[in-house]
């Protein structure tokens, strides 16, 4: 490993199929960082079970997510791509960090508040302590940067607080990680309800685009996207939430700035604009969908990737875990 390279860790939970939000908010940036950094990317299946999952579906989505990550351009030789539950150090450090995370801190997490409101019949302890498991994911790898969308910033900030608390007691055990949030695409909103985040849980509503969706269904979703009664394509995230969201998506997909996009659609009306956004997204996702489809046909290759990833991730994670166990006073085996 090149010592000058920054260390990256990030993850996505396979609780639903990958969406345009996870692509623009996270994976696209993972790929951009992959050459210049030393990267670890996990399929966070342990995080997914905080909400009830169908076991066969969870297995399918975890492997499919891995294939889609590779199809997005992540080279598993250059990056360590692995499945979280394959590296027991995550659960082991997660428990230790639970003991250094305060009840009050976890109670203030907006995602916990949102999810417990949505799953009132299953507010389990895992949903509550989820951020300390996420802190373990990050701190095990001594990550410098954590590329995530806006919604995960609070969890990375809590990770810093936990690391700081632990380091203050035991010395410099953990590297202090920084969130890395993209300028464009950090918060992609639902196409049907532009007040709320595009999320895996709203699949089949037309509000969410998945990376494996067909071009026809993507075009249909953009044509039906909720906008407003005005006709001007201009960026106004307070007054014109739907159009501003479409502008963000268009700019991220076409690689241009908001003023350039506004100029392109001056006097063109919403119909032409929505069609152009849909086409840009279809073209951006086409090679990913095709490549992921091929990879999914080669289960042996995918198994080779996650086994190799688990081995490499375990080596790095094991070093940190041994240090932590020693510091807190566990007897060496």
Residues involved in catalysis:
115, 197, 200
Q: Which stretch binds ligand TYM (CB under 6 A): 23-31, 58-66, 253-261, 276-284?
A: 23-31
Nearer to ligand TYM, 109 or 263 (CB): 109
With beta carbons less than 8 A apart as the criterion, state whether 143 and 116 touch.
Answer: no
Of 187, 232, 319, 327, the one binding ligand TYM by CB under 6 A: 187
Nearer to ligand TYM, 20 or 304 (CB): 20
- The yes or no reply on residue 248 touching ligand TYM (CB under 6 A) is no
Nearer to ligand TYM, 101 or 152 (CB): 152
Phi/psi of residue 241, nearest 5 degrees: -65, -45
- The yes or no reply on residue 26 touching ligand TYM (CB under 6 A) is yes
**CA atoms of 186 and 24, how far apart (whole Å):** 7
Q: Which stretch binds ligand TYM (CB under 6 A): 4-12, 112-120, 242-250, 313-321?
A: 4-12
With beta carbons less than 8 A apart as the criterion, state whether 184 and 251 touch.
Answer: yes
User: What's the DSSP call for residue 197?
Assistant: B
Q: What sign has the CA pseudo-torsion 186, 190, 191, 194?
A: negative
Measured from each CB, the residue nearest to ligand TYM is 25
Site string for ligand TYM, 191-210 (x = CB under 6 A): ------xxx-----------
Parallel/antiparallel/unpaired status of strands 80-83 and 178-180: unpaired
- The yes or no reply on residue 177 touching ligand TYM (CB under 6 A) is no
Least Cβ distance, residue 332 to ligand TYM (angstroms):
28
Beta bridge partners of 38: 7
For residue 163, what is the enclosing H or E element?
helix 153-170
Least Cβ distance, residue 222 to ligand TYM (angstroms):
16
For the residues of 12-65, what is the DSSP string, one character each? Answer: E--SS--BHHHIIIIIHHHHHHTTTEEEEEEE-HHHHTTS---HHHHHHHHHHH
Burial class of 329 by CB neighbour count within 10 A (0 to 12, 13 to 18, 19+): exposed
- The yes or no reply on residue 31 touching ligand TYM (CB under 6 A) is no
Grouping H, G, I as helix, E, B as strand and the rest as coil, residue 230 is coil
Of 71, 186, 276, 285, the one binding ligand TYM by CB under 6 A: 186
Least Cβ distance, residue 15 to ligand TYM (angstroms):
7
Structure tokens at 128: 């509550």
Site string for ligand TYM, 143-172 (x = CB under 6 A): ---x-xx-xx--------------------
- The yes or no reply on residue 76 touching ligand TYM (CB under 6 A) is no
CA-wise closest residue to 7 among 178, 160, 144, 180: 144
With beta carbons less than 8 A apart as the criterion, state whether 218 and 281 touch.
Answer: yes
Of 8, 22, 166, 253, the one binding ligand TYM by CB under 6 A: 22
- The yes or no reply on residue 64 touching ligand TYM (CB under 6 A) is no
CA-wise closest residue to 273 among 222, 200, 326, 198: 222
Residues 104-143 that bind ligand TYM (CB under 6 A): 134, 137-138
Question: Burial code of 82-102, b = ≥16 C-beta within 10 A, e = fewer?
Answer: bbbbbbebbebbbebbbebbe
Nearer to ligand TYM, 153 or 232 (CB): 153
**Total residues at interface with ligand TYM (CB under 6 A):** 26
Nearer to ligand TYM, 74 or 198 (CB): 198
Interface ranges with ligand TYM (CB under 6 A)? 9-13, 21-22, 24-26, 44, 47, 134, 137-138, 146, 148-149, 151-152, 186-188, 197-199
């Amino acid at each position: 490993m090149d010592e000058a390279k920054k260390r990256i860790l990030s993850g996505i939970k396979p609780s639903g199929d990958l969406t345009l939000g996870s692509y623009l908010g996270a994976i696209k940036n993972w790929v951009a960082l992959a050459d210049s950094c030393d990267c670890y990317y996990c399929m966070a299946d342990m995080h997914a079970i905080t909400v009830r999952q169908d076991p066969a579906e969870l297995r399918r989505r975890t492997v499919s997510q891995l294939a889609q990550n590779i199809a997005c351009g992540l080279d598993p030789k250059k990056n360590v791509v692995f499945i979280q539950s394959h590296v027991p150090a995550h659960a082991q450090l997660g428990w230790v960090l639970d003991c250094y995370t305060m009840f009050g801190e976890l109670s203030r997490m907006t995602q916990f508040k949102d999810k417990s409101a949505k799953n009132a019949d299953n507010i389990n302890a895992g949903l509550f302590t989820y951020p300390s498991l996420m802190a373990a994911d990050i701190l095990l790898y001594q990550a410098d940067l954590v590329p995530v969308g806006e919604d995960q910033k609070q969890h990375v900030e809590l990770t810093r607080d936990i690391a700081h608390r632990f380091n203050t007691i035991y010395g410099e055990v953990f590297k202090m990680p920084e969130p890395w949030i993209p300028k464009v695409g950090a918060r992609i909103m639902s196409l049907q309800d532009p007040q709320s985040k595009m999320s895996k849980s709203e699949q089949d509503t037309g509000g969410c685009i998945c990376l494996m969706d067909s071009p026809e269904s993507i075009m249909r979703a953009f044509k039906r996207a909720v906008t407003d009664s005005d006709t001007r394509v201009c960026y106004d995230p307070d007054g014109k939430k739907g159009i501003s969201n479409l502008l963000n998506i268009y700019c991220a997909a076409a690689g241009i700035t908001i003023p350039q996009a506004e100029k392109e659609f001056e006097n063109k009306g919403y119909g032409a604009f929505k069609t152009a956004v849909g086409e840009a997204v279809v073209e951006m996702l086409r090679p990913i969908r095709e490549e992921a489809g091929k990879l999914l046909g080669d289960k042996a290759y995918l198994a080779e990737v996650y086994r190799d990833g688990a081995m490499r991730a375990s080596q790095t994670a094991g070093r940190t875990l041994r240090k932590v166990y020693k510091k807190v006073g566990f007897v060496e085996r």
